[in-house]
Amino acid sequence: MSNLFNVKDRVILVTGGGSGIGYGISLGLVKNGAKVYICSRDIKKCDQVANELNTMGPGKCVALQSDLSKAEDCKSVIEKLLKYEDHLDVLINNSGCNWGEPMETYPDKAWDKVLALNLKSIFHLTVAALPLLKKNATVDNPSQVINIGSIDGIRVPILETYAYSSSKAAVHQLTRVLANRLAPDYILVNAIAAGPFMSKMTKQTFEKFNDEVVSSVALNRLGDHLDLEGLLVFLSSRASKYITGAIIPLDGGVLIQAHL
């Protein structure tokens, strides 16, 4: 079992790894011995998180600066990674943003901002990382791309988040398309349809609608770091080497509640 679920020394890049779901992912992987690289626009905050994570497990964490809403930064973050590593075992596309506003006033700039970070960056960064992902990938030890989608890309969202929910549905389909394209290179591509987790992005929503959100979860609670750790260690290890193109709900039962 320790070999099957082993992520020790695996080189993993987590976008948006300094806060929210990204922080929980990075924490779980460092605790299990991975070499985790986190990136965000705020390098000061990213450095602080990396220093904190380096005290919390046998793995290590390094901060890289990038603005993944820009295609050129998707290339430059891989160039920065090359200063430390000659390959990449796992790419976790987690960076994202949201925009909630009534339909009548929903602005075009919301679509541009949300789609650029939530969807286009996944494609641009995966393409930029391909040479590193291919480097050590084999049939018995494939590389992995893990995209963080959302249950709001499957169900109709509770709030008016038109660009966000549309972008996450597109992330799920892009995951399937990339999985098919990259299977011959021994690169697995899967997505997590995340339910409600506390994060910087969701904090304001939960402050206003906490009771409504929690009541929509069959398990009657928000997700936590251990929920992320279990699934991400599985998807980042050899234990998942026969799974690709899957959209895996991590939602505490929101989707089954939605169909009652």
> Could you tell me the pLDDT band of residue 202, with boundaries at 50, 70 and 90?
low
Residue 203 confidence (pLDDT): 62
Quote the pTM value: 0.95
User: How sure is the predictor about 2, in pLDDT bands with cuts at 50, 70 and 90?
Assistant: confident
- Chain segment 24-36, per-residue pLDDT in tens: 999 999 999 999 9
Amino acid at 242: Y
Token representation of residue 252: 């505490």
Mean pLDDT to the nearest integer, 105-121: 98
C-alpha torsion sign, points 110, 248, 26, 8: negative
Confidence check: pLDDT of 250 > 90? yes
Cα–Cα distance measured from residue 132 to residue 47, given in angstroms and rounded to the nearest whole number: 24
Q: Which residues of 69-89 are buried (b: 16+ CB within 10 A; e: fewer)?
A: bbbebbebbbebbeeeeeebb
Residue 159, pLDDT score = 87
Average pLDDT over residues 133-141: 97
164 is catalytic: yes
Mean per-residue pLDDT, 8-17: 97
Q: What is the pLDDT of residue 204?
A: 64
Confidence of residue 215 (pLDDT cuts 50, 70, 90): confident
pLDDT in the model for residue 255: 94
CA 172 to chain centre: 12
For residue 213, name the pLDDT band (cuts at 50, 70, 90): confident
Stretch 161-182: mean pLDDT, rounded? 98
pLDDT in tens, 225-247: 999 999 999 999 999 999 999 99
Q: Which of 23, 37, 162, 164 is catalytic?
A: 164
- At residue 1 the predicted structure's pLDDT band, cuts being 50, 70 and 90, is confident
Contact (Cβ atoms closer than 8 angstroms) between residue 5 and residue 234: yes
- Sign of the four-CA dihedral 46, 48, 50, 53: negative
Q: Taking residues 178-184, report their average pLDDT.
A: 98
| Res. 172 pLDDT band, cuts 50 70 90 | very high
